[in-house]
């Protein structure tokens, strides 16, 4: 009997007592934290200490970015000649925050800047030729991209024809050839000397601007304080792995978000009823979706305008507009999710190793979220397409599982698509109506060769099997040193064997159960099961539990509470 229908198997590692003992001895950490560190490959004390205590000084020198010198010369030359720089971002949070970093910083240090993010429906993903023309018509001499442009060969050529110099900054996977720009700053380049390739678009913009700040004699620590909030927003909202330099940007950026002075972010937090500290959860599920909503179903320029706004009253009005858009986005999204699930189940598409689904009438702004929901429900990669009524062109968005690289899958079928690209876990593409059946068949065959039945079984990886009494209040508190949690650094999950269910109490919500638990001869521990119907129905006297250990604050007192995700009766 399982508590969560989404979990089919537990992956439970053996603990390495020797490696844990070394961390306990040299770092003074409790065994609970040591077990998590060892499980995640941080076995050496120095490496583990660096992870637990990240520093902004651990960021690599920005001049290691590919084409850094060429980008610096192009940008500083434009400043010296007082030329207009046209900044082109993208319509998601990463694209908007990276455009904001460039616009705010360059404007502050004496550049003429005009920032633009595309309209999803009118311009589509990436750089539209009309934007290149607009840049030329506005008198710009330098076309600066962020979070896009790495595969924009035609657009860069057109910019060159119009007399624009082009600097591309991007973080997506690169193709065999680069566009003919003066600089292509992308840590994914094969010739990159930058030691961390997984920066977001905002991360690349932040590091490049940090280098420029140093070149111009500005206080680097002051620069970081001013722009870390935006870098963290883009990094976390774009679901980048929160390890390495992303962990540093996210950790210190979240602190900056909590005390930000930017009028737009203050207004956004206020309307989201977010007060005090900001966590990665708040970026991923509170702030990020609101900023994304503008680009999904309205105009991303509203989100850019909000982040650039310095007047509190104007920012509050923009935040209200974005909140209304987000409400509409949620309604549209839920309708489409239900429709898509019904289609998958009725047509048997969930039996294939990858779900490829298309329909007319689905809003292109929500299909990425819908694909993610299908991945969660059916435990396999999913591509969801909406069909343009006039042309029949299929515009799709994909989400994935760890064993299936979406960008590689699209690159393997370039001949079948009009355009496309992305990351391992998120990607998009367009395809003609005529080519869509062949693409679906090819993707299913491709996934069938790469994925085993085991890869498609929903599973949860535990960090350790706990001994009785190991999850003390002090030990669980140290787990906060692992934050911020996200991709590649999830919140720890544990297994406890032979736990007695001392008491189970239903709550006002019929799905939620409050628990009283005891492992071995240890003290009674509180617990909660948010999908607890099966547990309340069966009421086993003893069971193995899969859970997250958290601190519960109530009336000024702190205690450990197990958030139970799954159970197996003993």
Total Cβ atoms within 10 A of residue 362: 21
- Residue 444 belongs to domain with CATH number: 3.10.310.30
Co-location of 145 and 235 in the same domain: yes
Q: Quick one: which H or E segment has residue 371?
A: helix 367-378
pLDDT of residue 86: 98
Mean pLDDT of 345-368: 95
pTM check: above 0.85: yes
Indicate whether 17 pLDDT > 80. yes
pLDDT of residue 1: 35
**CATH number for the domain harbouring residue 294:** 3.90.1640.30
d(CA 278, CA 280): 7
Boundary of a domain, candidates 456, 477, 512: 456
Cα–Cα distances (Å) from 58 to 76, 254, 490, in that order, read 26, 17, 22
The pairing of strands 513-519 and 542-554 is unpaired
Q: Do 161 and 253 sit in the same domain of this protein?
A: yes
Instruction: Write the CATH number for 517.
Output: 2.40.50.460
Domain contains 432: yes
- The whole-number average pLDDT for the span 12-22 is 96
Q: Render pLDDT for 67-101 as a digit per residue (tens, 0 to 9).
A: 999 999 999 999 999 999 999 999 999 999 999 99
Q: Do both 180 and 311 map to the same domain?
A: yes
Range of the domain at 446: 348-456
Same domain, 490 and 442: no
Mean pLDDT of 12-40: 97
pLDDT class of 8 with cuts at 50, 70, 90: low
Confidence band for 2, pLDDT divided at 50, 70 and 90 = very low
* Same-domain status, 447 and 558: no
Let me know if 8 is exposed, middle or buried by CB neighbors in 10 A (0-12, 13-18, 19+): middle
Q: 344: pLDDT confidence band, cut at 50, 70 and 90?
A: very high
> Is residue 281 pLDDT above 80, yes or no?
yes
pLDDT of 465 strictly over 90: yes
Q: Are residues 352 and 317 in the same domain?
A: no
> In terms of domains, do 418 and 522 share one?
no
Residues 20 and 132 in one domain: no
For residue 200, the model assigns a pLDDT of: 97
Q: Are residues 431 and 371 in the same domain?
A: yes
pLDDT in tens, 538-551: 888 899 999 999 99
Total count of domains within the chain: 3
Report DSSP letters for 83-117, one per residue.
Answer: PEEEEE--SSHHHHHHHHHHHHHHHHTT-EEEEE-
Specify the higher pLDDT residue, 259 or 6: 259
Last residue of a domain, one of 393, 425, 456: 456
Q: Compute the average pLDDT of residues 496-519.
A: 91
Residues 390 and 536 in one domain: no
Q: Which of 410, 432, 456 is the last residue of a domain?
A: 456
Q: Is residue 332 part of a domain?
A: no
**Which run of H or of E encompasses 360?**
strand 355-360
Least confident of 119-133, 207-221, 256-270, 298-312: 119-133
Q: What share of the chain is helix, strand, coil (3-state, %, to 5)?
A: 45, 20, 35
The rounded mean pLDDT for the chain is 94
Taking only the tens place, the pLDDT of each residue in 407-439 is: 999 999 999 999 888 888 889 999 999 999 999
Confidence at residue 121, expressed as pLDDT on a 0 to 100 scale:
83
């Amino acid at each position: 009997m399982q508590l969560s229908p989404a979990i089919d198997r537990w992956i439970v590692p053996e603990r390495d007592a020797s490696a844990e003992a070394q961390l306990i001895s040299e770092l003074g950490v409790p065994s609970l934290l040591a077990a998590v560190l060892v499980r995640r490959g941080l076995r050496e004390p120095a490496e583990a200490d660096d992870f637990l205590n990240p520093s902004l000084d651990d960021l690599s020198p920005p001049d290691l970015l590919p084409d850094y010198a060429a980008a610096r010369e192009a940008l500083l030359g434009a400043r010296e000649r007082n030329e207009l720089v046209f900044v082109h971002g993208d319509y998601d949070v990463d694209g908007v925050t990276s455009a904001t970093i460039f616009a705010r910083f360059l404007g502050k240090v004496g550049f003429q800047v005009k920032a633009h993010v595309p309209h999803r429906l009118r311009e589509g993903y990436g750089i539209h030729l009309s934007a290149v023309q607009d840049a030329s018509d506005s008198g710009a001499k330098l076309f600066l991209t962020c979070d896009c442009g790495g595969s924009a060969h035609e657009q860069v050529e057109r910019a060159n024809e119009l007399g624009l110099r082009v600097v591309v900054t991007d973080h997506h996977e690169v193709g065999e050839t680069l566009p003919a720009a003066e600089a292509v700053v992308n840590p994914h380049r094969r010739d990159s000397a930058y030691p961390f390739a997984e920066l977001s678009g905002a991360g690349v913009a932040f590091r490049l601007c940090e280098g420029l700040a140093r070149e111009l004699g500005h206080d680097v620590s002051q620069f970081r304080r001013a722009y870390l909030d935006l870098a963290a927003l883009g990094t976390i909202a774009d679901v980048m792995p929160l390890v390495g330099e992303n962990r540093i940007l996210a950790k210190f950026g979240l602190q900056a978000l909590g005390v930000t002075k930017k009028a737009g972010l203050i207004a956004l937090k206020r309307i989201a009823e977010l007060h005090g500290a900001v966590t990665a959860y708040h970026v991923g599920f509170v702030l990020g979706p609101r900023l994304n909503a503008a680009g999904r179903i309205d105009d991303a320029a509203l989100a850019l305008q909000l982040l650039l706004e310095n007047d509190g009253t104007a920012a509050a009005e923009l935040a209200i507009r974005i909140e209304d858009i987000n409400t509409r986005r949620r309604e549209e999204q839920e309708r489409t999710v239900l429709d898509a699930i019904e289609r998958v189940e009725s047509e048997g598409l969930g039996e294939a190793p990858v779900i490829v689904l298309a329909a007319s009438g689905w809003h292109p702004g929500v299909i990425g979220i819908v694909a993610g929901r299908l991945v969660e429900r059916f435990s396999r990669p999913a591509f969801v397409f909406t069909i343009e009524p006039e042309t029949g062109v299929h515009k799709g968005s994909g989400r994935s599982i760890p064993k299936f690289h979406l960008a590689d899958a699209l690159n393997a079928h370039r001949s079948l698509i009009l355009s496309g690209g992305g990351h391992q876990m998120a990607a998009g593409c367009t395809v003609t109506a005529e080519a869509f059946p062949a693409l679906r068949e090819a993707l299913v065959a491709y996934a069938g060769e790469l994925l085993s039945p085991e890869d498609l079984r929903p599973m949860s990886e535990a960090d350790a099997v706990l001994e009785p009494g190991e999850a003390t209040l002090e030990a669980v508190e140290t787990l906060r040193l692992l934050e911020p949690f996200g991709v590649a650094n999830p919140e720890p999950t544990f297994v406890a064997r032979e736990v007695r269910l001392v008491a189970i109490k239903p709550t006002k919500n019929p799905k939620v159960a409050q628990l009283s638990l005891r492992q071995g001869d240890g003290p009674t521990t509180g617990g909660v099961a948010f999908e607890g119907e099966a547990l309340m129905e069966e009421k086993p006297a003893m069971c193995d539990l899969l859970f997250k250990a958290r601190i519960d604050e109530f009336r000024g007192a702190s205690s450990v509470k197990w958030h139970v995700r799954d159970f197996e009766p003993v």
